[in-house]
Structures are given as C-alpha cells and as structure tokens.
Amino acid sequence: MSDPTVRPVAASGTFSIGGDLPVHRLGYGAMQLTGPGVWGEPADRDEAIRVLRRAVELGVTLIDTADAYGPYVNENLIAEALHPYADDLLIATKGANTRPGPAQWVPDGRPEYLRQCVDGSLQRLRLDRIDLYQLHRVDPNVPLAEQVGALAELRDQGKIRHVGLSEVTVEQLVEAQQYVPIVSVQNLFNLAERGSEAVLEHCEREGIAFIPWFPLATGQLAQPGGILAEAAARHEATPAQLALAWLLHRSPVILPIPGTSKVAHLEDNVAAATISLTDDEVAQLSALG
C-alpha cells in the first residue's frame, strides 16, 4: 500500500479509463503552466518543471494537457519535464481548438485538421501513441460524425488508444458513442457549477470517466460562516481542499484535475485526497449547488 504521506494522491482511489488504463482519481491539469491568457511560456519555467515532477512524486498518474495550451508550450514542457514517462503515467491531451491570440479559442473540427493535431501532439509529447485523446471542443460547423469519425480512424491506425470528449451534452455524447467508444468526458463541473449533472449521470451508467475542469471553483460558497467554510474548519482544511474532496466523494467516476503553477499550491491540492467526508457532509455540500 502506498504511504499517504509520501504519495497522498493514492488515497483518492483508482479508476480504469477505458477498462485498461488505471489511474489515481486525483489528477493534475497542466493548463496553468503557460503565460497569461493561456498563451506563451510560463512566467517561471523552472518552477513549472518542478510542479510537473513533484506531481508525479506525489502519486499523480493522470496529467491533462492540450495542444492549444500555449499553444504547444504545455505539451513541450511536459515532455521536457517527464519524458521518458513512468509506466503508470497517463498523459491525456486534446485537439481541435485553435488559438488566434491570448484568451481566444476557436474550434476547428475538420478531419484534416484533427489528423494534423494528433500528429503534432505525438511529436511534441514524444509518444508513439496517445493513450487518451480528447476532442477539445465540438465544432458547430462540422458534423459531429465527421469529427468523431476522424478520431476513430486515428484510433484504428494506432495513433490513439482511447477517445474522449470535452464540453458536450448528453445528446452529443450518445451520438458520438455510435461511431467510437467514448471513455472520458471533460465538462465544467464543481461545487458551485452543476450544469453537467445529466452528463455525469450518463457517465456513471456507462462507466465513462468524468473529468471536471475548473474543479476548485467555490465562488460565494466559501464565505466565512457558511457550510463549506465550517466543514473545512472541521477537517483543518481549506474550502478549496473540501471542494476537491467533495468531487472525489460525489461519484466514483469523477477524476478531478486541479491545476496550479506553484509547487506549494500543488501540495495543498493533493492533500484533498486524504480527506474523508461523511455521507451527511457530502449531502450538505451537494445541497449548496
């Protein structure tokens, strides 16, 4: 058994993505390891390298990135810090979001562009195959069948092992499942934002990993004197740590990927894996949303 003081992330439990990729449920989202507006190099490249290496030391086995982060900066940084990758480390990346400039995002789901995205990510991450490749955003100007179909072809070619989606509705997910097995969904979901409850429920039924992005958001729920703040105080934890612990308790298919650009903040985040909530606490926190 892993020592929780050395690899605390192991306490979050495991989930097998696609049935054959076991990961610790608390992962790391690398998006913040870029410049302002998710554009350009990080302010402190050495610290960014330290964050990635420390995450693995702490037991993180799922790191989420995308070609659009930087763009390209994030994937190159991960390869520099961690290649050759540990056998149990899953680097999940995404494509089909173009970057005209800082804080600008424009989906492009044309099959020819997706093929270009996958080849670029393979090269930057120094991989022969991407174990989890996610459609970063559905392009409303391209039929979903064509977008997912392109990923299915890339899977058949051996460039992708598993396919995931990001920011989709239940209807889009069900349609995509007609063309290729979908093993993960990455939607906005946290203690304050619950718009994807129906998608989460579908993922639970289907055994699909649900990867909530922006998992640390607590908004006004963290105000002093509130249920979240009181629960955090009981556990000698921060409201953000409780928000992560709630996600881990909310559903066994949830794989939170909190991000940060600082080692100290990373260590605070992963401590959430060791927090045990009672059923009553989970219910009280769930009622806040």
Q: What is the pLDDT of residues 129-145, one digit of tens each?
A: 999 999 999 999 999 99
Q: Report the candidate in 93, 13, 27, 92 with the shortest Cα–Cα distance to residue 56.
A: 27
Does residue 226 form part of some domain?
no
Q: Would you mind telling me the total number of residues written for the chain in this entry?
A: 289
Q: What is the mean pLDDT of residues 32-59?
A: 98
| Minimum mean pLDDT range among 7-16, 68-77, 203-212, 215-224 | 215-224
Is there a cis peptide before residue 22, judged by omega within 30 degrees of 0?
A: no
Domain presence at residue 237: no
Confidence of residue 206 (pLDDT cuts 50, 70, 90): very high
Predicted pLDDT of residue 3: 56
Query: Would residue 38 count as lying in a domain?
Result: yes
Percentage of the chain exceeding pLDDT 70: 98
At residue 179, does pLDDT exceed 80?
yes
For residue 284, tell me if it sits in a domain.
no
2: confidence class by pLDDT, cuts 50, 70, 90: very low
- Arithmetic mean of pLDDT over the chain: 96
Residue 28 sits in a domain of what CATH number? 3.20.20.100
Structural domain includes residue 242: no
Residue 171 inside a domain? The answer is yes
**Total domain count for the chain?**
1
The whole-angstrom separation of Cα 12 and Cα 265 is 18
User: Which pLDDT value is given to residue 217?
Assistant: 82
* 216 has a pLDDT exceeding 90: no
Q: What is the mean pLDDT of residues 212-219?
A: 88
Cut 0.85: pTM above it: yes
- Which residue has better confidence, 217 or 63? 63
Predicted confidence band at 127 (pLDDT cuts at 50, 70, 90)? very high
Indicate if the pLDDT at residue 95 is higher than 70.
yes
Residue with tokens 């995931």: 164
Tell me the catalytic residues: 69
Is residue 72 domain-resident? yes
Q: b/e for 58-95, b at 16 or more Cβ within 10 A?
A: bbbbbbbbbbbbbbbbbbbbbbebbeebeeebbbbbbb
pLDDT grade, residue 4 (50/70/90)? low
Convert the pLDDT of each residue in 217-273 to its tens digit.
887 888 888 889 999 999 999 999 999 999 999 999 999 999 999 999 999 999 999
Q: What is the mean pLDDT of residues 25-42?
A: 98
* Residue 190 domain boundaries: 8-219+247-274
